[in-house]
Amino acid sequence: MKMVHPCPRTVGDGDAALYLSYTGDRRPLCWSAEFARALGFEREWLPDLLVFHVIFGKTVADISQNAVANLGYADVRFLAPVYPGTTLRAESEVIGLRETSSGKTGIVYVKTSGIDQNRREVLRFNRWVLVEKSSDAAAGDAVVPELPTQVAPAELAPPPFKLDRFSDVAWATGGARLFEDYQKGDRIVHPTGMTIDDADHTGATRLYQNTARVHFDARAMAESKVGKRLVYGGHVISVAHALSYSGLENVLCMAAWNGGNHVNPTVGGDTLYAYTDVVDAAPIKGRKDIGALRLRLVAVKNVDPNREPVETQSAEGAYDPHVVLDLDYWGIIPRKR
Amino acid sequence: MKMVHPCPRTVGDGDAALYLSYTGDRRPLCWSAEFARALGFEREWLPDLLVFHVIFGKTVADISQNAVANLGYADVRFLAPVYPGTTLRAESEVIGLRETSSGKTGIVYVKTSGIDQNRREVLRFNRWVLVEKSSDAAAGDAVVPELPTQVAPAELAPPPFKLDRFSDVAWATGGARLFEDYQKGDRIVHPTGMTIDDADHTGATRLYQNTARVHFDARAMAESKVGKRLVYGGHVISVAHALSYSGLENVLCMAAWNGGNHVNPTVGGDTLYAYTDVVDAAPIKGRKDIGALRLRLVAVKNVDPNREPVETQSAEGAYDPHVVLDLDYWGIIPRKR
Amino acid sequence: MKMVHPCPRTVGDGDAALYLSYTGDRRPLCWSAEFARALGFEREWLPDLLVFHVIFGKTVADISQNAVANLGYADVRFLAPVYPGTTLRAESEVIGLRETSSGKTGIVYVKTSGIDQNRREVLRFNRWVLVEKSSDAAAGDAVVPELPTQVAPAELAPPPFKLDRFSDVAWATGGARLFEDYQKGDRIVHPTGMTIDDADHTGATRLYQNTARVHFDARAMAESKVGKRLVYGGHVISVAHALSYSGLENVLCMAAWNGGNHVNPTVGGDTLYAYTDVVDAAPIKGRKDIGALRLRLVAVKNVDPNREPVETQSAEGAYDPHVVLDLDYWGIIPRKR
């Protein structure tokens, strides 16, 4: 079952400025035309995650408008820089389906592509959601797709960075640490926290034309278990990613996500903090100037990990109740010369 | 009495992105340059209602800064697509004046035009407002203008849509229903609701440079009957219009408003829902490819008409206390081929 | 000690639109390309204060991330119009340092420049902040820079306004008063107030990439004396400046600040009002068409000076507890012909 989602979007400077106002992102590749040009690009990029949210938003009406929960992501690829002025469309394919043990809900697996006006694929991701099952729907045969638990470093195809002039513009990131300065097992606790107001997350989520009612209808949500409008999980990713700039200043872009989970809900009034664990470091085939760091970005709510350490998961794998996001991604970072 | 209102405005991409973040609008004609070009236009349009709000905002300081209430609109014409980068100015003429029965207030009737940098009129509307009367003002002769209760279909002059390629891009709207699929008497209850936060409506209203104090000064409004900052009525129109996309996906633009009323106040924290009644359907002279639907867009607060039907008006014409907006407009929609 | 601050920023239309949505600014020089061109410029300017906030924001991580307080500004020069699309960077120099009497804190004096992509200096300012002193830091010799208490009118170098066509476009400002219509000693109480919501000031402050935690972390601030997130002082300046449009419509731009102080904190929920005292009026060397007004812009919270006069300072110089901002600047205004 394939579908082209409606509502294509030309994403421009204004969207980028709004993204900044919602997140406080600081990566110069997205905010300085000069910096982007010094690295060989036409101009500044749209933030990777803005592109993700716009594409994700288009899929909601067809996939997850009434989903009970977003369960996870796998094999997410950021395939090309996207510049302001690009028109994005989303196409999806249902790649799997299974009933849960209760028989009342099902899990739907979907593969989505973000495509620009020249039919170039700029983003590809898999996600799975928990949905209500119609009472009269037959169970059918379960089809569970094989999704990789990581994107192999050999498959990373980073954008055509030209780093000959990087030393001239390295001041712009404000960070001195490069590929070789991070080690497996490092934890970087990002120094600041961000309180989410309802007008922030609802504004961001409207900008992405995401129509899931759980984010917008406070009256209906007052009757839900959480009792309040839920923050779109992607906004949590964006805020955590923006907080994570301090300590990861030279991670130029996301190349891929190995996986990701929204572990607990976030609502207006929660304060988010973040830390990043360095999971792996890998060279990139054919590139002596950049490498890839496998990073686990964890967002927690209402506890400051700078003051009070958080154990992400227990030995049994149970998440700390403060953890709201567990995102495992590959970031691209310059190497020492 | 004619006046040129100050503060002309160049309205661009950034304003459009903000409009989207405040409303969640999804009409591809406004958000996809590719879609707009496929329909014969230079690029995506600024939202009709954004243009309306910018022009309306300019009139406030001269007309309704201290108005007691906006009573209604008549004969509102959207005369031409407006592209990002256009500089808009507003000109008005007082066309009528009468004292109310109390003798303490008066009704002022105003005709306003929105004009671009090439002196092309892009918008024209009539509105009337209730204002305090200076204690020493003579009553004068009442002048009540004759305003039409509807814009006749023969007067609709829709923009130069080219629909030869519409079938190629119809996927972009996400809706299958065309002119012939709507019937007089249909009611479309739009599925989702939107809670308004104070930062949303005040931000939108500042963007429109509307300076009416009732929207901005919470201290002063705490002493008013409503007790809170009032949501600018135009923001209510925009939110209701954005909600109404679901079910009216192929209504490409507003051609005219027959009339409109802000029936009850809306404040921060209210949740808006909307339904649309199909009042009429009319062909457009000289066009076999498009038709006009006369639509009555009703916004209600704090009751979900998907769960609990609302009767807009009683037999005597009294509005249900949940109704906040009653807007009667002509929308342009493709016909079947 | 000199430093180049990281995170250069290309500031565009989207940023300007956001600035408008946060402040309600109405100066046509910033919002109408036609008006700006009529006055001899390429296009509309970015708001002076938006440029200030972007440059200020870049200095925070290096200067005032953990400052106890921003004490003041001196000799602030707006050196050139900045157009959308400009890439701005910030450079600073520490120009002074002294311990306070307690020995536990120190005052750091910093001179900052805002520089565009062609290395043109567009803004220069001095500020001083109160910071915690490391317990083991030696006192050192105090170095207190000599900072002027005013920018002499002879030093004002206003942008190349061409006012031959001003009378054609003067309608755009909405104000009739020119240089000669203001007198030393005049007080203009601006008519409207603006309530600040948390989502406004945090959004604006993120847009400026200002990372000071006092603005963002409500949990941490709940333990502070104020108990809430502090509004970035620059947002207070912008809101007060926007409110001050009514009564100062022909003040085209800020040329310089003589000084400025954030006198009391502002938090979400406060309502701001403003008045302006005319301190001086000076001709500008070589210009018969424009003059300079020295204006003292005072912002107060939670008292409306239109109803209840506020005495800014007592005879002893103590500020009224409602005063939050005292800003002394030179504005440029056309002269009568």
- For A172, the closest of C8, C17, C211 (CB atoms) is C8
Asked if B10 lies within 8 A of C33 by C-beta distance, the reply is: yes
Among the listed residues A95, A98, A81, the one whose alpha carbon sits nearest the alpha carbon of residue A37: A81
Instruction: Please indicate whether, in this complex, the C-beta atoms of A199 and B198 are within 8 angstroms of each other.
Output: yes
pLDDT digit string (tens) for B187-206? 999 999 999 999 999 999 99
Q: What is the pLDDT of residue C134?
A: 76
Interface of A to C at Cβ within 8 Å reads 12-18, 20-24, 26, 28, 31-35, 44, 171-175, 191-195, 197-200, 203, 246, 249, 269, 271, 302, 304
| Residues in C touching B89 (Cβ below 8 Å) | 172
Q: Which residue has the higher pLDDT, B69 or B284?
A: B284
Q: How far apart are CA B227 and CA B233, in angstroms?
A: 17
Q: What is the DSSP string of C231-291?
A: PPHHHHHHHHHHHTTTT-TT--EEEEEEEEEE-S--BTT-EEEEEEEEEEEEEETTEEEEE
The whole-number pLDDT of residue A139 equals 65
The whole-number pLDDT of residue A68 equals: 79
> A16, C13: Cβ pair inside 8 Å?
no
In this prediction, residues A123-150 reach a mean pLDDT of 87
Chain B residues inside the 8 Å CB shell of C34? 8, 10, 87, 117
Residue of A9, A10, A219 lying closest to B302 (CB–CB): A219
Answer yes or no: do A175 and C6 touch at CB < 8 A: yes
Residue A114 in this model has a pLDDT that exceeds 90: yes
Judging contacts by C-beta atoms under 8 Å, the chain A residues touching residue B16 are: 14
Closest to B248 (Cα-Cα) out of B332, B153, B310: B332
Indicate the average pLDDT of chain C.
Answer: 95
CA triple C274-C277-C281, angle to 5 deg: 140
In the predicted model, what is the mean pLDDT of residues A318-323? 97
Cα A257 from Cα B74, distance rounded (Å): 54
**Residue among C13, C192, C197 minimizing CB distance to B211:** C192
How far apart CA C33 and CA C15 sit, in angstroms, is 16
CB contact under 8 A, B9 and C31: yes
- Residue C48 has which token pair? 């002076």
pLDDT band (50, 70, 90) for residue C297: very high
What is the reported pLDDT for A85? 98
Using a pLDDT cut of 70, give the percent of chain A over it.
Answer: 99
Best CA proximity match to B334, nearest among B267, B227, B248: B248
pLDDT confidence tier of residue B137, bands split at 50, 70 and 90? low
Neighbours of chain A (3+ CB pairs under 8 A): B, C
Q: What's the longest Cα–Cα distance across chain C?
A: 65
Contact between residue A234 and residue B235 where contact means Cβ atoms under 8 Å apart: no
Report CB contact under 8 Å: C217, A200.
no
> Sorting pLDDT into bands at 50, 70 and 90, what band is C138?
low
Report CA Rg, chain A.
Answer: 20
**And the tokens for A257?**
């996500």
What lies within 8 Å, CB to CB, of A84 at 6+ separation is A11, A12, A13, A15, A16, A43, A44, A46
The dihedral sign for the CA sequence B156, B162, B163, B168: negative
pLDDT for A138 equals 67
**Interchain CB distance below 8 Å, C61 and A174:** yes
Q: Locate tokens 């949990």: which residue?
A: C219
Instruction: Please give the pLDDT value at position C292.
Output: 98
- Integer Cα distance of B279 and B319 in angstroms: 18
Write down the pLDDT at residue A23.
98
The mean pLDDT of B290-316, rounded to a whole number, is 97
- B197 token code pair: 């936060």
- The overall pTM is greater than 0.95: yes
Mean pLDDT value across residues C227-244: 97
Taking the CA atoms of chain C, what radius of gyration do you get in angstroms? 20
- Quote the minimal CA–CA distance from A138 to chain B in Å: 27
Mean pLDDT, chain A, as a whole number?
95
Cβ separation C209–A20 shorter than 8 A: yes
Tell me whether strands C105-115 and C287-301 are parallel, antiparallel or unpaired: unpaired
Instruction: From A315, A335, A30, A18, select the one nearest A173 (Cα to Cα).
Output: A30
Residue with tokens 């020119």: C178
Cβ pairs A/C, distance under 8 A: 112
Work out how many CB contacts closer than 8 A connect A with B. 112
What's the half-sphere exposure (Cβ side, CA atoms, 13 Å) at A267? 11
- C-alpha span between B290 and B333 (Å, rounded): 6
- Our measurement of the distance from residue A158's CA atom to the centroid of its chain's CA atoms, rounded to an integer in Å, reads 17
Residue B142 pLDDT exceeds 80: yes
Concatenate the DSSP letters of all residues of B3-29 into one string: EE-S--EEE-HHHHHHHHHHH----HH
- Chain C residues bordering chain B (beta-carbon distance below 8 Å): 12-18, 20-24, 26, 28, 31-35, 44, 171-175, 191-195, 197-200, 203, 246, 249, 269, 271, 302, 304
Q: Which residues of A touch B271 (CB under 8 A)?
A: 217-219
pLDDT of residue A140: 77
pLDDT for residue A101 is more than 90? no
Of the candidates B260, C9, C153, B228, the one whose C-alpha atom is nearest the C-alpha of residue A33 is C9
CA distances from C218 to B267, C60, C222 (A): 25, 19, 6
Q: Is residue C139 very low, low, confident or very high in pLDDT (cuts 50, 70, 90)?
A: low
- The pLDDT tens digits of the residues spanning C40-65 come to 999 999 999 999 999 999 999 998 87
- Taking CA–CA distances from C199, the nearest residue in chain B reads B199
pLDDT at C206 > cutoff 70: yes
Q: Which of C96, C92, C97, C88 is nearest to C111 (CA)?
A: C92
CB nearest to B217's CB, from C21, C24, C193: C193
> What's the full length of chain A, in residues?
337
Query: What is the per-residue pLDDT for C309?
Result: 92
Nearest to C195 among B4, B18, B218 (CB): B218
Interface test with chain A among C206, C228, C232, by most A beta carbons within 10 Å? C206
Q: Which of A158-172, B322-336, C130-144, C215-229 has the lowest mean pLDDT?
A: C130-144
C-alpha distance from B102 to closest chain A C-alpha (Å): 39
Report pLDDT for B136. 67
pLDDT at B307: 97
Q: Which residues of B touch C44 (CB under 8 A)?
A: 10
Q: Give the mean pLDDT of chain B.
A: 95
Per-residue pLDDT tens over the stretch B16-61: 999 999 999 999 999 999 999 999 999 999 999 999 999 999 999 9
Beta-strand pair A2-4/A86-99: antiparallel
- Return the pLDDT at C137: 66
Residue A258 pLDDT class (50, 70, 90 cuts): very high
Q: Chain B residues with CB inside 8 Å of C22's CB? A: 203, 206
Confidence tier at B138 by pLDDT (50, 70, 90): low
**C-alpha distance from A44 to closest chain B C-alpha (Å):** 17
CA dihedral C108→C323→C57→A236, nearest 10 degrees, is 130
Question: Which residue among B24, B35, B249 places its CB closest to the CB of A8?
Answer: B35
Which tens digits make up the pLDDT trace of C145-172?
999 999 999 999 999 999 999 999 999 9
Question: Does the pLDDT at position B134 exceed 80?
Answer: no
Lowest mean pLDDT among A102-106, A291-295, C210-214, C304-308: A102-106
The verdict on a CB contact (< 8 Å) between C26 and B7 is yes
* Mean pLDDT score, A173-193: 97
Residues of C whose CB is below 8 A from A194:
216-217
Tell me the pLDDT tens digit for each residue of B62-96.
Answer: 988 778 788 899 999 999 999 999 999 999 999 99
Tell me which chain B residues have a C-beta less than 8 angstroms from the C-beta of C271: 217-220
What is the least distance, in Å, from the CA of C33 to any CA of chain B?
A: 6
Counts for chain C of helices (H) and strands (E), in that order: 8, 12
* pLDDT reported for residue B102: 85
* Subunits adjacent to chain B (3 or more Cβ pairs under 8 Å): A, C
Predicted local distance difference test score (pLDDT) of residue B139? 65
Dist CA B191 CA B169 (whole Å) = 25
Residues 6+ apart with CB under 8 A from A16: A30, A44, A46, A47, A50, A84, C14
Q: Which residues of C touch A175 (CB under 8 A)?
A: 6
Smallest Cα distance from B100 to chain C, Å: 27
CA distance A134 to A38: 55
- Chosen from A195, A196, A250, A300 to mutate, greatest number of chain C CBs within 10 A: A195
pLDDT of residue C136: 67
The pLDDT score that the predictor gives to residue A39 is 98
User: What's residue C174's pLDDT?
Assistant: 96
Q: How far apart are CA C61 and CA C314, in angstroms?
A: 36
* ∠ CA B328-B333-B337, rounded to 5°: 150
Could you give the 3-state DSSP secondary structure of residue C13? Answer: helix
**Is the Cβ–Cβ distance between C111 and C126 less than 8 Å?**
yes
Instruction: Give the span between the Cα atoms of A13 and B101, in whole angstroms.
Output: 53
Cα angle value C153/C159/C164 (rounded, 5°): 105
Lowest mean pLDDT among B139-143, B262-266, B284-288, C247-251: B139-143
Q: How far is A147 from chain B (nearest CA, A)?
A: 30
